[in-house]
Amino acid sequence: MEFRKVITEAQLQSPLTGFEKEAQPLEYRFDPLTNMPCRINMRRAQRVRQAEVRGVDTGGFVTRTRRDCFFCPENIDRSTPLLPESIFGVGRITEGECVLFPNLFPFAEYHAVARITREHYLELDQYTEEMIGDNLKACQGWMLKAYEYDPEARYPMYNWNLMPPSAASIVHPHAQALLDKRPTPYLRLLLEKSRDYCTETGRNYWSELVSEERRLGERFIAENDSLSLIASFAPQGNREILIIFKGIASLSDLDEKGRMDFAAAILGILSAYKEMGVSSFNLSTFSGPIGEKLPYYSLNAKFISRPPVQPFYTSDSGFMERFQYESIIETIPERVAEMVRERF
Ligand SMILES: [Zn+2]
C-alpha cells in the first residue's frame, strides 16, 4: 500500500507582499486504492471570497424557514408523500423521531427522505445517538422492503446533505436513502479496485488500510467495536473523515450494535465539526450489494465539510456529485440546445 504524494511549489510575485518572490507549497496526493488524485494548497484557506457576507444572522434564516416547513411536526402529515402500501405495508415508516417517506422529487426508483429530528434546526452538538440510530434503522427497514419487492435493486446508499451549502433544499435535518440497480461510478471503482487488490495480495484492502493508518498514527482518529475512523490521505473534499466498518460489506448487514456504533461515530464527527466552525456537510456511504458476501470489500462512509451557511443560496452539488461522481440534472439537454440554437 502506497501513500503517494508529490510535493512541489508554485512560484509567483504576490501583490500581498509588495511583489516579493514567493513559492507556495503544493501537494499532489493519490488515493492508495483508486489512484484518484487531489491537490492540496493550505494557503488557499486564506484567500478572499468576494461572495461571502460577513456577520450573517443564521438565527434569522432558521426562523424564516421554520414557518411552513414541510418536515416540522405540524405539517409533515399533509406535506410529505406516501410510500406505496403495496410494497411497504405502510405509507410512512416511523421510528422514534424519524419519519421516512418517498422523496417528492426522486432521482432513483427507490429514493426516500428520513427526517432525523422533530426540531427544525439543531446545532451540530445537539443530535443524539438515539435519533441517528432510529434514522438508520428506519432507512435500513425501508431498503430491505424495497429489495424484497425488487431484488434487482440491491445497491443501498445512506446520505446526509446538511444545510443549503451541501445542496440541502430543506433546512430541517433529514437523511436520504437510495436503492439502485447499478453502483454509482465511484462505488463501482471502489468495488473493482478492492477486488483487484485482493486478487493480487490475498487481503482485504480496507482492513489493511486501517492497520497501516493505525501503525502510522498520522491520520488515524479512533475506533469502536464496529468501525474505525481516519482522515483520508487523498480526500474528495475538505475535512474528509473516512469510516470503515469491520467485517461487513453492505449497509444491509448492520445490526443494532453496528447502527448504534455508527451513530456514535457520526455524533463524534458532528461535535468535532462544530468545534472547527463547520455548519454544513455531506455524508455518503459506499456499500456492497444486499445479499452478497464480499470478503474483499468493507462497508465505508465519508464526511466532507462544505462552506459556511449563507442565506439566499443552495449549492447544486450534493452527495451524488461530490462523492459518487454522478450528476443530478434538472434541465433537459434537448431544451438547452433549442434555446442556445436561437442565438446561432
Ligand atoms: Zn422544520
Give the domains, in start order, of the chain with CATH numbers: 4-44 (no CATH), 60-334 (3.30.428.10)
pLDDT in tens, 160-219: 999 999 999 999 999 999 999 999 999 999 999 999 999 999 999 999 999 999 999 999
pLDDT for the residue 53:
66
Distance in Å, CA 74 to ligand 1 centroid? 9
Distance in Å, CA 97 to ligand 1 centroid: 13
Q: pLDDT per residue over 326-337, tens digit each?
A: 888 888 888 888
Classify the C-alpha dihedral 319-321-323-325 as positive or negative. positive
Spatial distance between the Cα atoms of 257 and 35, rounded to a whole number of angstroms: 33
The residues with which 283 forms a beta bridge, in sequence order, are 160, 303
How far is ligand 1, taken at its centre, from the CA of residue 172, in Å? 4
Between the CA of 65 and the centroid of ligand 1 the distance, in Å, is: 7
Greater confidence (288 vs 312) lies with 288
Cα(225) to centroid(ligand 1), Å: 34
pLDDT tens for 279-295 read: 999 999 999 999 998 99
* Mean pLDDT over each residue of the chain, to the nearest integer: 94
312 Cα: distance to centroid of ligand 1 (angstroms):
17
pLDDT recorded at residue 134: 98
Q: How many angstroms does the Cα of residue 292 sit away from the middle of ligand 1?
A: 38
Cα 63 to middle of ligand 1, angstroms: 10
Q: How far does residue 262's CA lie from ligand 1's centre (Å)?
A: 25
Q: Would you tell me how many other CB atoms lie within 10 Å of the CB of residue 10? A: 11
pLDDT recorded at residue 54 = 65
pLDDT, one tens digit per residue, over 44-83 is: 888 877 776 666 677 788 888 999 999 999 999 999 999 9
| Mean pLDDT along residues 296-307 | 96
CA 71–ligand 1 middle distance (angstroms)? 5
Q: How many CB atoms lie within 10 A of CB 98?
A: 25
- Return d(Cα 289, Cα 151) in angstroms, integer: 10
Q: Could you tell me the distance, in angstroms and rounded to a whole number, from the CA of residue 122 to the centre of ligand 1?
A: 10
Rounded to whole angstroms, the Cα distance separating 292 from 206 reads: 17
Residue count of the chain: 344
- Write out the three cell numbers for 333: 439537454
